Amino acid sequence: MFQKILIANRGEIALRIQRACRELGIGTVAVHSTADAEAMHVRLADESVCIGPPAAKDSYLNIPAILSAASITGADAIHPGYGFLSENARFAEMVEAHGLTFIGPSSAHIRMMGDKIAAKTAMGGLGVPLVPGSDGAVPDLATARTVAARIGYPVLIKAAAGGGGRGMKVARAPDELDEAFGTARAESRAAFGNDAVYMEKYLDRPRHVEFQVMADQHGAVVHFGERDCSLQRRHQKLVEEAGSPALDAAGRERMGETVTAALAQLGYRNAGTLEFLYQDGQFAFIEMNTRLQVEHPVTEMVCGIDLVREQIRIAEGEALGYGQSDVRFSGHAIECRITAEHPETFVPSPGRVTAFHAPGGLGVRVDSALYAGYQVPPYYDSLVAKLIVHAPDRPAAIARLARALEEFAVLGIETTLPLHRRIVEAPEFQAGDYTIHWLERFVAGGEP
């Protein structure tokens, strides 16, 4: 049993993990940059350690400082949250080398899935359906032309080390391939220090549907159903739902079985998410995330489970203690990601929050580290709150979301709350009739 967990993160996710620790009777250590000395995750932790100046590379990505903080405070384990070091295989190895437990999968699996080409090869080999594309990396333009001719335009050039939608370029016709290929390579070199790219057929109207999986160290694997994350801007998720409006129980069960069988064969452990594009009733794997996801609360609401608690129990070596037939799905949940950005221009809006009023009532959950008087720093991700609603069915969840968004007030900074209020009123959203391309056009004010 862990006595103390160091949480190597900030903001709402650091608080989220603290809450699970507290309920399990485990002590918490917060780490923070000098810019975050007054942050809620620091105020609510049992102990805190300053690990460096504001820039993430000097603090939240500063491995020696984080390991020193764990050693000074006598922590037994480190939870990385999402982002920052959560998918850094080297970090997971160093944590273990220091005699601590990394709350997550093995470093070998983190490394494998961090290389999106290796991830596709592995999953394809385990019987998971893939998006048609290149067989591995595409080293030059001549190969790109051959692949494009085989799979047909439009094609997507993607970074092998990709993440956050960067290093991804579409070529709709042969005359666009040269530029798309060059730009994708340059972008991925700049963002990830690695210019390996691969190619996929660019799907024209897919939904993004992903499966949440949890595996223990004794070979048991269960899935907690799917999330629909099709509402995206610049390949970044804005609104997520569980379950998907496009999937029924039989479809969920079928794909769930494929996914759990693959991960059991892989010997995977802890939490993971397999991401798919779903079009014309077909699933096609795009990538796997080897960590807790931002959108995990919608799954928690429909399954009545605490995913962070499960991650901690599994890392302690406990067995899951239940099987797939024990996982029940109840009702519908929707999450809005609220960022400190202008709701139309998306220009970041850090600054002092002068008033903060979170909605409440039945079936409403707010995961946020904001408070009145808090100064949102300009150095980090702009996500400041997640509003999650749960109701017996999708129409009731939408009604609840609309009223919760009306109640929500954040003053002093710009937020995307007004955009979420518009989305919830849109007929396409209400009908559940949208693909990954819908929101982009809706935001731009064009015809959806």
CA 56 to chain centre: 19
Q: How far is the CB of 116 from ligand ADP (least distance, A)?
A: 7
d(CA 273, CA 342): 30
Q: How far is the CB of 198 from ligand ADP (least distance, A)?
A: 10
> What Å distances lie between residue 134 and 137, 156, 320, CA to CA?
7, 10, 38
The verdict on 232 binding ligand ADP (CB under 6 A) reads yes
Q: Count each helix (H run) and each strand (E run) in the chain, helices first.
A: 15, 20
The verdict on 202 binding ligand ADP (CB under 6 A) reads yes
The verdict on 152 binding ligand ADP (CB under 6 A) reads no
Residue whose structure tokens are 């009145």: 372
Binding ligand ADP by CB under 6 A: which of 58, 96, 275, 428? Answer: 275
Binding ligand ADP by CB under 6 A: which of 39, 156, 246, 274? Answer: 156
Binding ligand ADP by CB under 6 A: which of 52, 83, 104, 162? Answer: 162
CA 203 to chain centre: 21
For ligand ADP, the binding residues in 322-341 under the rule CB under 6 A are none
**Range in contact with ligand ADP (rule: CB under 6 A) among 156-164, 190-198, 357-365, 421-429:** 156-164
Residue 84 identity (one-letter amino acid): F
Q: Which long-range contacts link 1-4 to residues 24+ away (Cβ below 8 Å)?
A: 1/316, 2/26, 2/76, 2/77, 2/101, 2/312, 2/315, 2/316, 3/27, 3/74, 3/76, 4/28, 4/29, 4/46, 4/73, 4/74, 4/75, 4/76, 4/77
Residue pair 314/214 in contact (Cβ under 8 Å)? The answer is yes
Residue closest to 92 by CA, chosen among 81, 82, 71, 106: 106
Binding ligand ADP by CB under 6 A: which of 208, 313, 390, 400? Answer: 208
DSSP assignment of 243-264, as one string? Answer: S-TT--HHHHHHHHHHHHHHHH
Positions marked active-site: 291
Residue closest to 9 by CA, chosen among 22, 26, 40: 40
Q: How far is the CB of 301 from ligand ADP (least distance, A)?
A: 22
Q: Among residues 198 and 408, whose Cβ is nearest to ligand ADP?
A: 198
Q: Among residues 216 and 228, whose Cβ is nearest to ligand ADP?
A: 228
The verdict on 129 binding ligand ADP (CB under 6 A) reads no
Residue closest to 377 by CA, chosen among 28, 15, 35: 35
Binding mask 23-62 for ligand ADP (x = CB under 6 A): ----------------------------------------
Binding ligand ADP by CB under 6 A: which of 7, 95, 117, 203? Answer: 203
The verdict on 287 binding ligand ADP (CB under 6 A) reads yes
The number of C-alpha atoms within 13 Å of 386 and in the hemisphere containing its C-beta is 22
Residue pair 263/272 in contact (Cβ under 8 Å)? The answer is yes
The verdict on 436 binding ligand ADP (CB under 6 A) reads yes
Binding mask 76-115 for ligand ADP (x = CB under 6 A): ----------------------------------------
Q: Among residues 99 and 446, whose Cβ is nearest to ligand ADP?
A: 446
Q: How far is the CB of 203 from ligand ADP (least distance, A)?
A: 4
Q: How far is the CB of 164 from ligand ADP (least distance, A)?
A: 5
Q: Among residues 170 and 431, whose Cβ is nearest to ligand ADP?
A: 170
Binding ligand ADP by CB under 6 A: which of 53, 136, 165, 432? Answer: 165
3-class DSSP state for residue 101?
strand
d(CA 241, CA 229): 7
Binding ligand ADP by CB under 6 A: which of 103, 117, 131, 171? Answer: 131
Binding ligand ADP by CB under 6 A: which of 64, 152, 164, 323? Answer: 164
d(CA 239, CA 228): 9
DSSP assignment of 348-393, as one string? Answer: B--EE--EEE---STTEEEEE---TT-EE-TTS--EEEEEEEEESS
Neighbouring residues of 444: CB distance < 8 A, sequence distance ≥ 6: none
3-class DSSP state for residue 46?
coil
For ligand ADP, the binding residues in 242-261 under the rule CB under 6 A are none
The verdict on 207 binding ligand ADP (CB under 6 A) reads no
Binding ligand ADP by CB under 6 A: which of 54, 129, 163, 251? Answer: 163
Contact residues for ligand ADP, defined by CB under 6 A:
131, 156, 162-165, 200-203, 206, 208, 232, 235, 275, 277, 286-287, 436
